Structure 1
Amino acid sequence: MVDLTETSAPTPGETTVTLPDEAQVIAYLNRDPLLLTRHPQLLEQIEITHAAGSAVSLIERQVDLLRGRNQRLEARLEKLLDSAKANEARADKVLKLSLSLIRAPSLAAIAAALKTSMKDDFDIDDVFLGLHAPAYRRHDIDGIVPIEANGAIARAYDNFLRTRLIDCGPIEPDKTKLLFPKADVLIASAAVVPLEKDKHLGFIALGSRDLERFQPRQGKLFLEMTAELVSAAVRARMN
């Protein structure tokens, strides 16, 4: 085996050979990357100390590195495939929701379809559907809550109603009582989403018993799509 880690002192009368330093070796290999191709025996002769302490040949070390890289690529590919499958399943559920809302014959049916879809397909524990009083003249439809200008809900969500930005995260107990008074479980987190952001139609709130289900920095695409579907269905039944 060739060992480049040590050089012994020259004996009297022996010619001194100056070995290149690391930078020179690296520079040379960069200039001539085919060196090891022309001298493949070096791949087996050069020893590299393994992390465990044993010595392995350069070719064995390369195989080990390639194996590790391959494992990382396989893990990444598997993660991408899992994400694709999850997105496909979610798209199917959104399509099912859209069909349910389109086919709903009344506002009460829209509220019921939304709640059923969220519970059965998206594991949402409770749903709030509120419409602003000027747009919602009837206040007697089951599943729909009127949002009065100076009412408790408007005061509790004053900032949200002003900015009309999606609000996700843990929900305070007093707000839980306002939005989900009949929930079968304690709602710990919620996503509050405006309906027709520019027209002040109202908002929906999706509640979950899981404190981590809705987070401030989570993706908002699904929530926006749901709000658009609900808005379109509500407008169609209000006109």
Structure 2
Amino acid sequence: MTQKLPSDEFKTELSWEEAVSRYLEDHPDYFLRYPDIVSRLLLAHETGGKAVSLIERQVQVLREQNQTLQRQLRELVNNARENDVLSGRLHRFASAMIGCTSLDDTIDTTYDLLRQEFKLDAVVILLQGQPTAGGRPELVAEDDKRLNMLFHQFSSGKPICGGKFDDSLMSYLFSGRATEIKSTALIPLGDKNPHGVLGLGTHDPYRFHPGMGTVYLTRLGDMLAHGLARHRG
């Protein structure tokens, strides 16, 4: 004689699939209350052959569109977060420029902030004009032909970004560290008639590339140009 299990014990004998099936049978309006779950289910619609039914195809298209929109939303959120971080860094840079009291202070502050805040491996500032009394290497003489040639590359007034430039230019910009730099951004200091160049270098070959946006780089150059102008004769 078989002994019947109590209802609670009987439920524990059910498999997960059986439990889910029974739950759905007891709650036939479940998918009406949670319609978003339907879009994530894989439901075959039999047609008796190899052809795919119109309903199944429509569901597939809607699911693909939903996945695309979710991916685009994640990208927008990530971009917004990155922009917030960059905006904060630019704000701190602008505040630091305001607090600088001399040309040397401006240059030193720029080096420190760009390396620390912007995580750059190399920073160089090339300015047109006679060197200061301290003989800073960042200030080059007025007749520096290479710098004047570099100015002509900023015909659009926008920064130039890319991988490694030609070896002679890389050596001119970064001297002994030229071989370490894998991508570079060159930013004109000054709008139509630049009086200097801000060079940024990094070991990351994908950090700067020709197709990237240059809005923040342009703002960075403008802030530095104004900061330098306050202390130059």
Whether the 8 Å CA contact 2:171–2:178 is kept in 1: the answer is no
Measure, in 1, the Cα distance between the counterparts of 2:96 and 2:160.
25
Summarize the Cα distance change of 1:158–1:233 in structure 2 as closer, same or farther, 3 Å threshold.
closer
Aligned to 1:191: 185
Aligned partner (choices 81, 87, 96) of residue 100 of structure 1? 96
- Separation in 1, partners of 2:161, 2:231: 28
Relative to structure 1, is the Cα distance of residues 48 and 205 closer, same or farther in structure 2, using a 3 angstrom cutoff?
A: farther
Identity across matched positions, percent? 23
User: In the alignment, residue 174 of structure 1 is paired with which amino acid?
Assistant: S
Instruction: Give the letter aligned to residue 167 of structure 1.
Output: I
Once the two structures are superposed, what CA deviation does each residue of 1:153-194 show, in whole Å capped at 9, x if it has no partner?
336636437775532222222222222125497123221121
- Displacement of 1:238 after TM fit? 2.2
What is the aligned partner in structure 2 of residue 5 from structure 1? Answer: none
Taking a change above 3 Å as real, the CA distance of residues 66 and 217 of structure 1, as seen in their structure-2 partners, is closer
**Structure 2 CA distance for partners of 1:96 and 1:191, relative to 1, 3 Å:** same
Q: Distance in 2 between matches of 1:191 and 1:215?
A: 8
Indicate the SS of the match to 1:157.
helix
Q: Pick the aligned partner of 2:197 from 188, 198, 203.
A: 203
User: What's the counterpart of residue 130 of structure 1?
Assistant: 126
Q: Is residue 88 from structure 1 mapped to residue 84 from structure 2 by the alignment?
A: yes
1:153 aligns with 2:146: yes
Partner residue of 2:169?
A: 175
Equivalent residue, structure 2, for 1:113: 109
Aligned residues: 189
Paired position in structure 2 for 1:47: 47
TM-score between the two structures when normalised by the length of structure 1: 0.67
- Aligned partners of 2:217, 2:121: CA distance in 1, in Å? 15
**In the alignment, structure 1 residue 71 sits paired with structure 2 residue 64:** no
C-alpha displacement of 1:225? 0.5
User: Cα 1:217–1:164, aligned 2, differ >3 Å: closer, same or farther?
Assistant: same
Partner of residue 215, structure 1: 209
> Does the C-alpha gap of structure 1 residues 233 and 173 become closer, same or farther in structure 2, counting only changes over 3 Å?
same
Structure 1 residues 231 and 45, CA gap change in structure 2 (3 angstroms): closer
Shift of 1:125: 1.1
**Alignment partners' CA distance in 1, 2:48 and 2:123:** 62
CA distance 1:91–1:143, shift in 2 (3 Å) = farther
Mark the structure with the bigger radius of gyration: 1
TM-score (norm 2): 0.68
Q: How far, CA to CA, are the matches of 1:93 and 1:139 in structure 2?
A: 32
Q: Is the 8 A contact 2:151 2:194 kept in 1?
A: no
Query: Larger deviation: 60-69 or 91-100?
Result: 60-69
